[in-house]
Structure 1
Amino acid sequence: MFNKGFNFTNMLFMMAIAIVSGTIVYSQYIAQQIAGKERLAVEAWVEAERTILNATDTVSLNLAAKIITENTTIPIIETDDKDQPTGNYVNLDSSAVKEDPQYLQKQLAVFKRYSKTPIEVKLKAADSTSIRYYYGQSKLFREAQWYPIVQLMLVIMFVWIVIYSLRTRHKSGQNQLWASMAKETAHQLGTPVSSLEGWLEILKEKEDSKSIAAEIAKDVNRLQLITDRFGKIGSTPKTELCKPYERVQMVMEYMKKRSSDQVQFQLNGGNAVNTECLLSPTLFDWVIENLLKNALDAMDGKGSIEIDMKQDNWQLEICVKDSGKGIPHNQWKKVFQPGFTTKKRGWGIGLSLSKRIIEQYHKGDLFVQSSELNKGTVFCIQLPLAN
């Protein structure tokens, strides 16, 4: 499915490039045609101007006047033989000419870049004095030039919308899959847990089995907690006002009892000991547990784990630092992808689920803050404060 989406995206990009490339080539051809026709139109206009100056019959005057009045789009500036504006112009803003004495000079500089060779008219055959005409771009010519750019933007927008829709659909499908797997796991765990609870009550009635029953009860409670966690995936969990410091401390103590004596745990609450956030306690505890398990796996049973908490004006930050193997920089984002793992066992869903829990249910963020090979990694959680 992913490969099909990837191939479709590539095909879409190739089609977009082909469309835009073809449009650019064709629009350039059209622009050149328009430019050629506009120069002929300006030459005809200049000839009409000369006819008006020299004509003696009414027919020639009327024809020349018609040609001049028909030019309503091409701006023209008349200059002397030293390229100084004479004050005659057409299709320019008259109010701008009056307000800015340099307006014609500025427009003339622009026109010279467009019509590099002016159209020159000799005033008298025996005289070297002449008048020059420079012209600028018409509205039609500018539209022909801008058209491929506008089309390129529209094509990019269209491609982006399609790709965004495909990714959203793919992500939605993934979320549904994870939610279904989680709920099915919770359902499957429910039956044996209920059965274990029944056997546990029988054991409690026997004096010689009470100590065993107490330990089994702890594991049964643990299974119930796991069932509850998986059951909450895919549905909107209820949040309540909690002190994250207390939740982190409780999970750390639990993990500490179940880890090697050669692992040192340290919790620094800083100014966040009494900070309150809206949390789903069950899911939040799961995230902290996953981060601590990840840290323990990275250290192979020996090292230190330090949890630092601090609050600023708008968020709470919880950083879990270990002295383990570290993560290469190019894998900082990959560790949160479903199925990605560097361990020999496991499905690689712990960090992925943790990130989803923090981002989707707690409106926070979970990321790798820093990591150095053979020195350790720092995972950071950012949570919004309770209003």
Structure 2
Amino acid sequence: MFKQYIGWRFTLVAVAVVIIVATIWFVNNLSEKIQHEETKNVATWVEANQELLQAPEDANINLAVTIVTTNTSIPLILTDDHGKIIDTRNIDSAEVLRNPRYLEKELASFKKQHPPFIMAIDAKTNNYIYYGDSLLLRQVRYYPYIQLLVVALFIGVVLFALSTTNRATQNQVWVGMAKETAHQLGTPLSSMEAWLEILREKEENIPFVTELAKDVDRLKLITDRFSKIGSVPNLEERNLVVQVENMMTYIRKRAPQKVSFSLQSADPEVMAMISPPLFDWVLENLLKNALDAMEGTGAISVLIENHTTHITIDVTDTGKGVPKVLQDKIFNPGFSTKKRGWGLGLSLARRIIQDYHKGRLSVKWSEPNKGTTFRIWLRK
């Protein structure tokens, strides 16, 4: 399937390249033909002017006059032996009035485009005719490139719209799946709570009922998190130091003994508006990823910094690191380097921080076999 997808995309790109190359080749070939014809027309125009200068008074000059007067598209500039401009044809007179140096710039441009034609006035005097490309030739030469650019922009807009639509559809699927999961968990949780109440009636059941109650509460928290996906959560002002410390305590109890935890914050109180259940979900995901990356041995440190306009929370581990080529992909839905899991953890974590807390979640630093730092950025 993947190979077919790659092959399909390659075929489309190859066809597009062939069309572009063929269009450019055809346009260049056509512009060269038009340019050759314009050069011939200028040469004919020069010969007609030469004939008018040298014709006797009784000569028939109708043809020469017709040739001279029919050139209404090719711009011409006539100079003397010293390069002084004597006359012009088909030059924008309005631009000449606005810019006194316009003719000089046009003459310099014409000299670069074509060699001049020489028209002998007498035995010692020559005039030089410089000419440029007509408006038609310029349009033929550059219009296809403009057209290709417009088509490329149109295709880009269409692809962006399709991508946005697909992303919105995926979001709806994930939201629906999360809410349905929360709904399905609700019934057995209610039943489990009822059974716990029955078990509490006997004194000898109290020790294991207490532990079961913790697991039930945990399931209720997970259900609450899933139910909040897709809806705007209520933000509460909470102390992030306490919030992070509580989550680290929870993870520490379930982590191997060879993994050490540390929390650093210059301020004992760092207040921010958060959704506690969803924010805990993000922290739990980052801490669990750190544990998986270290494979049972290492250190996890969390640094909270309270800035003037924002707050940063850096979660650092001493695990295997994330290769640079994967650092942008790990937040994509479905992407995972683990053998199990759906690859939605980091994707949902980023969405929670960006969409609900108006912050950012990114990889601040990572090196293979040295560790990784994830950064949560929150606006005050």
* AA matched with 1:316: I
1:251 and 1:100 map into 2 onto residues whose CA distance is 73
* AA matched with 1:28: N
For the structure 1 residues 272 and 120, does the alpha-carbon distance in structure 2 shift closer, same or farther, using more than 3 Å as the test?
farther
* AA matched with 1:44: T
Please point out which of 183, 189, 195 is paired with 1:193.
Answer: 189
Cα deviation, residue 3, structure 1? 6.9
TM-score scaled by structure 1?
0.87
**What's the counterpart of residue 166 of structure 1?**
162
Cα deviation, residue 62, structure 1? 5.2
Q: Contact between 1:204 and 1:213, CA under 8 Å: does it hold in 2?
A: yes
**What's the counterpart of residue 80 of structure 1?**
80
Q: Contact between 1:51 and 1:64, CA under 8 Å: does it hold in 2?
A: yes
* Range with bigger deviation, 222-231 or 28-37: 28-37
* AA matched with 1:24: I
1:219-230 to 2 correspondences below 5 Å = 219-230=215-226
Find the residue that maps to 1:214 and give its secondary structure. helix
Cα deviation, residue 32, structure 1? 1.4
Find the residue that maps to 2:211 and give its secondary structure. helix
2:58 and 2:179 map into 1 onto residues whose CA distance is 95
Report Cα offsets for 1:286-331 as digits up to 9, x if no partner. 0001111111222233322111122334432111011222222222
For the structure 1 residues 240 and 13, does the alpha-carbon distance in structure 2 shift closer, same or farther, using more than 3 Å as the test?
farther
Unaligned runs of 5+ in 1: none
Q: Sequence identity, in percent?
A: 46
**What's the counterpart of residue 291 of structure 2?**
296
**What's the counterpart of residue 106 of structure 1?**
105
2:74 and 2:268 map into 1 onto residues whose CA distance is 71
* Range with bigger deviation, 376-385 or 94-103: 94-103
Report Cα offsets for 1:71-121 as digits up to 9, x if no partner. 333221112346x134222223457667877654432221122112x2222
Q: Contact between 1:355 and 1:365, CA under 8 Å: does it hold in 2?
A: yes
Q: Contact between 1:311 and 1:317, CA under 8 Å: does it hold in 2?
A: yes
Please point out which of 206, 212, 216 is paired with 2:212.
Answer: 216
2:356 and 2:58 map into 1 onto residues whose CA distance is 87
Cα deviation, residue 173, structure 1? 3.4
Please point out which of 179, 183, 189 is paired with 2:179.
Answer: 183
Is 1:376 equivalent to 2:336 in the alignment? no
Report Cα offsets for 1:145-167 as digits up to 9, x if no partner. 11121022122113322332333
* AA matched with 1:191: T
1:239 and 1:322 map into 2 onto residues whose CA distance is 29
1:376 and 1:66 map into 2 onto residues whose CA distance is 84
* AA matched with 1:119: F
1:281 and 1:235 map into 2 onto residues whose CA distance is 15
**What's the counterpart of residue 28 of structure 2?**
28
Q: CA RMSD in A?
A: 2.8
**What's the counterpart of residue 263 of structure 1?**
259
Q: Contact between 1:35 and 1:141, CA under 8 Å: does it hold in 2?
A: yes
2:173 and 2:225 map into 1 onto residues whose CA distance is 16
**What's the counterpart of residue 353 of structure 2?**
358
Find the residue that maps to 1:348 and give its secondary structure. coil
Report Cα offsets for 1:228-277 as digits up to 9, x if no partner. 11222233333334343332222122222332343322222235833323
TM-score scaled by structure 2?
0.88
1:330 and 1:18 map into 2 onto residues whose CA distance is 31
Q: Contact between 2:334 and 2:342, CA under 8 Å: does it hold in 1?
A: yes
Q: Contact between 1:120 and 1:133, CA under 8 Å: does it hold in 2?
A: yes
Unaligned runs of 5+ in 2: none
For the structure 1 residues 188 and 329, does the alpha-carbon distance in structure 2 shift closer, same or farther, using more than 3 Å as the test?
same
For the structure 1 residues 211 and 147, does the alpha-carbon distance in structure 2 shift closer, same or farther, using more than 3 Å as the test?
same
1:272 and 1:56 map into 2 onto residues whose CA distance is 107
* AA matched with 1:179: V
1:78 and 1:166 map into 2 onto residues whose CA distance is 57
Please point out which of 150, 155, 164 is paired with 2:151.
Answer: 155
For the structure 1 residues 340 and 103, does the alpha-carbon distance in structure 2 shift closer, same or farther, using more than 3 Å as the test?
closer
* AA matched with 1:121: M
Is 1:145 equivalent to 2:141 in the alignment? yes
Aligned positions, number: 380
2:143 and 2:12 map into 1 onto residues whose CA distance is 21
* AA matched with 2:293: A
Q: Contact between 1:270 and 1:308, CA under 8 Å: does it hold in 2?
A: no
Q: Contact between 1:244 and 1:275, CA under 8 Å: does it hold in 2?
A: yes
For the structure 1 residues 105 and 344, does the alpha-carbon distance in structure 2 shift closer, same or farther, using more than 3 Å as the test?
closer
Is 1:239 equivalent to 2:238 in the alignment? no
* AA matched with 2:198: I
1:53 and 1:219 map into 2 onto residues whose CA distance is 108
Find the residue that maps to 1:216 and give its secondary structure. helix
1:232 and 1:299 map into 2 onto residues whose CA distance is 31
1:12 and 1:161 map into 2 onto residues whose CA distance is 17
